[in-house]
Homo-oligomer: A and B are copies of this chain.
Amino acid sequence: MEVANKHVTLKTHIEGAPKESDFELKTSPLALSLDPGSGEMIVKNLYVSIDPHQLNQMKSCSLLQKTSTGFDGIALGEEIEAYGVAKVVASDNVDFEKGDVVMGVVTWAEYSKIRRNGMIRKIDPLGFPLSYHLGILGYSGLTAYAGFFEICKPKRGEKVFVSTAAGSVGNLVGQYAKLHGCYVVGCAGSKRKVQLLKEKLGFDEAFNYKEETDLNSTLKRYFPDGIDIYFDNVGAEMQEAAVANMNTFGRVAVSGVISEYADPGKRAAPNMLQVIFKRIKIHGFLAADHVGLFQDFISTTSHHLRNGELCPLEDISDSLDSIPFAFTGLFRGDNIGKKIVKIA
């Protein structure tokens, strides 16, 4: 049996902010049968994740030099890898069978072929919507959980600043920090997001960075007693202002630098003299290094979810065709919470 598999590909390598015209929808025939012994699987994608860091794989420099982005670059016309929740439709892998619901690295496509050693695992929905396994119970959630608890090592009462606080990771960091007894301020790019952070997610304060002219004094205003933890999703001048307002032994967890992805000329240049005398730690991390925390993360987070103490923030679009618009929207600030596209 063969299907016509619609998928998103890259028409041109991207420099700067992505445009919808950088992408192309293609349809290729895909046989739903597998070579015995191949260890492969074919999955039908239900939801795929739309993440800002994917832009780094779409740059031409990524093809030339893996070390410039840390990820394999995507060749033009190739399928684009992404996290997804999917259903197995054919399997030559002994660990999976037809009908299994899985999550892991798929592609922006209706169907994805998963290699023998593909990063994929079965999921137990735990009674939650499947989309949660891409956000609050997935990689975004683990990034927030590991980054906040393992990298930042927060203490009750500490003062926490989160950038891109209405984004997939930031909103969860703020919520975990509140549950942990911290004072939390978030920044975001619209009035609506700021309201949501304060009214729905329980942030102590929030501000729209687009309305601020001097981030240094903005942070001084929100943190008269200084910042202990900065969870950085944005990089550049916001990181500089956070370091300038940081207390001694402050910690910066660098989870993402979205403002630098689309503008390679943008760089954070924190004052190193302050880094020294305030003994600040600036620490880049990936959730992948903290999979040992996964069970702990899932049980803590699902417990809070059931008690209504954590609010899942999802922004779901419909159909594969909407992926280019959804992806470019991340850089326009369209999304509130985890951006997901429902495929089937």
Contacts and interface: CB of A to CB of B under 8 A. Distances in A.
A271 B285 CA distance: 14
A268 B56 CA distance: 22
A291 interface: no
B269 A254 contact: no
Given A269-B269, A271-B267, A284 B276 contact: yes
Interface in A37-58: 56
A276 B285 contact: yes
A276 B260 contact: no
Contact of A284 (B69, B257, B275): B275
A279 interface: yes
A323 to B, nearest CB: 23
B286 A272 contact: no
Contact of A272 (B71, B257, B279): B257
A278 interface: yes
Interface residues of A, number: 36
Contact of A277 (B272, B275, B282, B284): B284
A220 to B, nearest CB: 10
B268 A279 contact: no
A126 interface: no
Residue among A267, A276, A280 with max Cβ neighbours from chain B (10 Å): A276
Nearest to A268: B272
A276 B289 contact: no
A63 to B, nearest CB: 16
15 contacts: A70-B274, A70-B278, A239-B272, A257-B273, A257-B276, A267-B271, A268-B270, A268-B272, A269-B269, A275-B282, A276-B285, A279-B285, A280-B283, A281-B283, A282-B283
- 8 pairs of A and B residues whose beta carbons are closest in the complex: A70-B277, A275-B284, A267-B269, A269-B269, A276-B284, A282-B282, A257-B272, A235-B272
